[in-house]
Amino acid sequence: MDFNEIHSIIKKLVKSGAAEVSFETKDLKITVKNHPKFPESTIATPVYGNQNISVEKKSSDKNNGENNASNAPVDNNLLTIKSPMVGIFYRKPAPDKPPYVNVGDNIKKGTVICIIEAMKLFNEIESEIQGKIVKTLVDDGTAIEYDQPLFIVDPN
């Protein structure tokens, strides 16, 4: 079984909403668990491969004393792309390469927007929305948490 086959199974698991799937071949046994929402007290175990990305609609309501991670002007049309896992956030595929996306770039569904390193594996994170990057909320090489805001996107 090659990486692409494993990746395909993981994507199908995430899309199906199933909590867990196990499969075994002659040489390999894999169990994949899908936890769409981790309680804050739970330590998340990363799932390998490309991941679904949380997208949260920004509201125009008052902040109610909560700290807005983006510090961007609140706009009904802006969306927040959040981290699907715990790890180290990288904007570039390599130190000598340009970032995947910059502020002002237009992205579409399937565009690789960053890499998250988890357990020595580099997971390409693809956008599930299209729009224009308004703000990058995380610095390159920063440790991030599950569901942490990464980018603000204008879907228009």
Region of 85 (left: φ > 0; alpha: ψ -120 to 50; beta: rest) is beta
Three-class secondary structure of residue 11 per DSSP: helix
pLDDT tens digits along 123-149: 999 998 999 999 999 999 999 999 999
What lies within 8 Å, CB to CB, of 64 at 6+ separation is none
* CATH number reported for the structural domain that contains residue 126 in this entry: 2.40.50.100
Q: Which residues of 93-120 are buried (b: 16+ CB within 10 A; e: fewer)?
A: eeeeeeebbeeeeebeeebebbbbbbee
Three-class secondary structure of residue 60 per DSSP: coil
Measured between alpha carbons, how far is 155 from 133 in angstroms, rounded to an integer? 9
Shared domain check, 155 and 109: yes
Shared domain check, 32 and 81: no
Residue 88 confidence (pLDDT):
94
| Number of domains within the chain | 2
Shared domain check, 28 and 77: no
Closest CA to 135 of 124, 116, 150, 145: 150
Shared domain check, 140 and 85: yes
Structural domain boundaries enclosing 2: 1-36
Q: Is the pLDDT of residue 54 over 80?
A: no
Structural domain includes residue 155: yes
Structural domain includes residue 2: yes
pLDDT tens digits along 108-122: 999 999 999 998 889
Residue 75 confidence (pLDDT):
56
